[in-house]
Amino acid sequence: MKSYVTTPIYYVNDVPHIGHAYTTIIADTMARYYRLKGSDTFLLTGTDEHGQKIEQAAKARGFTPKVYADEISGKFKALWDDFDISYNHFIRTTDEEHKRGVQKAFEVMLAKGDIYKGEYEGFYCVSCETFFTETQLLDDGGCPDCGKPTNLVKEESYFFRLSNYQDKLLEWYHKEEKCVVPKGKKNEVISFVKQGLRDLSITRTSFDWGVKLPESMNDPRHVMYVWLDALLNYITALGYGKDDANMGYWPASVQLVGKDILRFHAIYWPAFLMSLDLPLPKHVAAHGWWTRNGEKMSKSKGNVVNPKEVADAYGLENFRFFLLREVPFGQDGDFSQKALIDRINSDLGNEFGNLLNRIIGMSGKYSAHVIDSADVKKFYAKELEEAHVILRVVENYIQEVQTNRYLEELWKVLTLANQSITIHEPWVKIKEGKTEEALALVALVANLLAKVAVLLSPIMPQTCQKIAQGMHFPLDKEGYDALIAQETLLAPFTIEKVPPLFPRIEEERMDSPEPTPPPKETSKETSKEAKVPTEGLVDVKEFFKSQLKIATIVEAEEVPKSAKLLKLQVDLGEGATRQIIAGIKEHYSAQSLVGTQVCIVANLKPAKIMGLESHGMLLAAKDGTGLCLMRPETPRESGASVG
């Protein structure tokens, strides 16, 4: 059996941050899990190095694009090596073999009739490497994804007949329930495709830094558009276009992406594969973004999380555990040192590490560190079966990339083990002469710890290896088959002392960014002398023309193709809901708003935002610390007036 796991290839416009680390650690975890079960697994990561943005960034620093790309790509590779990421290949889109593979794919799609030459006119965002129509732009003409200015571009281009694949894509989404996960992200993709797909511009002539068209086409002015070039890395890394040496790993078992590039991976990429007559990936899995202490990260705020700094300060495997446990896959997560410390001290220290310490201590007192499972089923069959019930289904979560649920369930087994010690009190049984029962209990919890360690090893490989060595069981397919698949118990062994795995952390180990300072208060003296502004004042009658009301949010979802907008259905006590498009996605998740109440301006004329009608406007306060919705102090009837 073969398995293939991929990360996105990371764009070399900046150094690695926590989002890159999150994606790569999940991918590494999936690859290690497949290998644990005996699958021949190939893990791919790498860097995306072409495009106008890279050409401009290199020029600004006085470098050639290749020298600039070498520097940043090297930083990604060095970090993954430092993080012990078990990749089989690190691909760069500047690799000659990759370029040849992309050119071959272009020729195949051209011969099939899926590529044609035309002229493109559209608004281009250099930052996102994406074209938009005028109706998709923000009111100020900015990019709907990142808000940055766009440029009207008109140039000769080759096009991919994406429109020909609309029905086939919808059929794939319908037929393969888990082809895109989580389900909410899949629904967004389906909604986008149902709106209609336009043919895709796949070459540019206005810059030179990219993969040239095949020489056979005799059209040297064109370079391939970055997304065609980039997406094909997943098969060129396996030998497509050269020798197909590793194409046996295709289709991918799981392809990890951030939610901002899901559209490219769940629409364009499968369409390209259909054109190439190649199988589609089994799962495209999209995760959310990370904030810090509730604020969006930015260089200007100085709150960008450096993953290497966190790993050095708190331990790499503690960091891995935190990222995968802290947030449900697909949702946005928040990084704070307090939350990380709490996870280390509580989940890892108190429940996991302390259980090992208790087993070493009890076995040392009662049996000279010898642990024998012979009587476990005789005295503790109920507890053992309860653990096995959890372990029989826990793997469903990791197979669906629900790493937080996977860890949550594993910790139920650790809780069961710790509670069994508390309930059955082996020290009392020893005093009562029930030595067999006491030793069987120690063996029970040792087996539960070993089983958890096997399944936890893809996430914390070095930590679990220390446990496996101390308890003399293999941490590989043999150990998985015996302890998990066959539900056997450990053979008699002498446990070795293991130094504390998770020393308690009492204080933060990294400098925290300074909070955004609040606005300066005006002194009493100044306030007495301050003049009330007279410009822009309205009379009370004008003010009361605005109808401010309490609305209850009954539905909320993200607007596809927009980084800022949420689509809300609100109840104003009118017998039917209203739709409001609000630019608050950077500050509130859709899920967090459902069922809450807000204040709105109810009598605004309907407006179109990105083609969607908005009937009303939310009231919010915004300053240097962020944005906050105006809400009633206590729940009020929907439609209640404000003022």
What mean pLDDT is reported for the chain? 91
Binding residues: 125, 128, 143, 146
Distances (CA, A) of 27 to 242, 449, 455, 484: 26, 25, 16, 22
- DSSP state for residue 483 in the 8-state scheme: I
For residues 329 and 40, give the distance between their C-alpha atoms in angstroms, rounded to a whole number: 25
**Beta strand extents in 267-341 (DSSP E only):** 284-287, 290-292, 295-296, 333-335
Contacts of 332 (CB under 8 A, 6+ apart): 288, 289, 290, 291, 589
Sign, CA dihedral 213-219-220-222, equals negative
pLDDT digits (tens, 9 = 90+) for 303-316: 899 999 999 999 99
CATH number for the domain running over 336-494: 1.10.730.10
CB-facing half-sphere around the CA of 136: CA atoms within 13 A: 21
Average pLDDT of the residues in 25-33: 98
DSSP state of 2: E
The pTM assigned to this predicted structure is: 0.79
Instruction: Domain 540-629: give its CATH code.
Output: 2.40.50.140
Least confident of 129-138, 315-324, 366-375, 408-417: 129-138
Q: Give me the residues paired with residue 142 across strands.
A: 149
For 318-366, the pLDDT digits (tens) are 999 999 999 999 999 999 999 999 999 999 999 999 999 999 999 999 9
The mean pLDDT of 105-133, rounded to a whole number, is 89
Dihedral of CA atoms 20, 22, 28, 32 in degrees, nearest 10, equals 180
> Does the structure show a pLDDT above 50 at 43?
yes
Phi, psi of 429 (to 5 degrees): -60, -35
If one compares 586 and 407, the residue with the highest pLDDT of the two is: 407
Q: In whole angstroms, what is the distance from residue 577 CA to residue 324 CA? A: 37
387: left (phi over 0), alpha (psi -120 to 50) or beta: alpha
Which H helix or E strand runs over 241?
Answer: none
Between 111 and 548, the higher pLDDT residue: 111
Q: Which of 78-92, 191-205, 260-274, 598-612 has the lowest mean pLDDT?
A: 598-612
For residue 276, how many other CB atoms are within 10 A of its CB?
A: 17
Tell me the average pLDDT across 445-463.
Answer: 98
Beta strands in 288-340 (DSSP E): 290-292, 295-296, 333-335
420 and 446 Cβ atoms separated by less than 8 Å = no
Least confident of 152-166, 258-272, 586-600: 586-600
Do 462 and 475 contact (CB within 8 A), yes or no? no
Give the H or E element holding residue 263.
helix 262-263
What is the band of 524 on the pLDDT scale with cuts at 50, 70, 90?
very low
Q: φ, ψ for residue 493 (rounded to 5)?
A: -150, 165
**Mean pLDDT of the region 17-36:** 98
- Of residues 5 and 146, more confidence is placed in 5
CA–CA separation, 66 vs 94, rounded Å?
Answer: 8
Residue 302 has pLDDT above 50, yes or no: yes
Residue 614, pLDDT > 80, answer: yes
Please state, for a pLDDT cut of 70, what percent of the chain lies above it.
93
Three-state SS at 541: helix
Q: How many Å apart are CA 420 and CA 400, to the nearest integer?
A: 31
- For 85-103, b where at least 16 C-beta lie within 10 A, e where not — what string? bbbeebbbbbbeebbbbbb
Annotated binding site for Zn(2+): 125, 128, 143, 146
Closest CA to 416 of 440, 447, 455: 447
CB 25, CB 83: distance < 8 Å: yes
- Asked whether the predicted pLDDT for residue 522 surpasses 50, the reply is no
Question: Quick one: tokens of 199?
Answer: 């043919």
Burial 285-324 (b: 16+ CB within 10 A, else e): bbbbbbbbeebebeeeeebbbbbbebbebbbbbbbbbbbb
Cβ atoms of 297 and 333 within 8 Å: the answer is: no
In angstroms, rounded to a whole number, what is the distance separating the alpha carbons of residues 319 and 502? 12
CA distance 389 to 566: 40
Is the Cβ–Cβ distance between 590 and 580 less than 8 Å? Answer: no
Burial level of 224, CB count in 10 A (0-12/13-18/19+)? buried
**Which tens digit of pLDDT belongs to each residue from 161-202?**
999 999 999 999 999 999 999 999 999 999 999 999 999 999
Cβ atoms of 10 and 233 closer than 8 Å: no
- Mapped onto helix, strand or coil, the DSSP state of residue 89 is strand
Other CB atoms within 10 Å distance of the CB of residue 155: 16
Residue 527 has what pLDDT? 41
Which helix (H) or strand (E) element contains residue 431?
helix 426-431
| Average confidence (pLDDT) over 638-643 | 79
β-strand pairing of 597-601 with 617-618:
antiparallel
Q: What is the CA 22 to chain-centroid distance, rounded?
A: 6
What's the pLDDT score for residue 292?
92
pLDDT for 64-115, tens place per residue?
999 999 999 999 999 999 999 999 999 999 999 999 999 999 999 999 999 9
- Contact of 97 with 246, CB cutoff 8 Å: no
Domain boundaries, given as residue ranges, for the chain: 336-494, 540-629
Q: What is the pLDDT of residues 563-573, one digit of tens each?
A: 788 899 888 87
pLDDT at 529 over 50: no
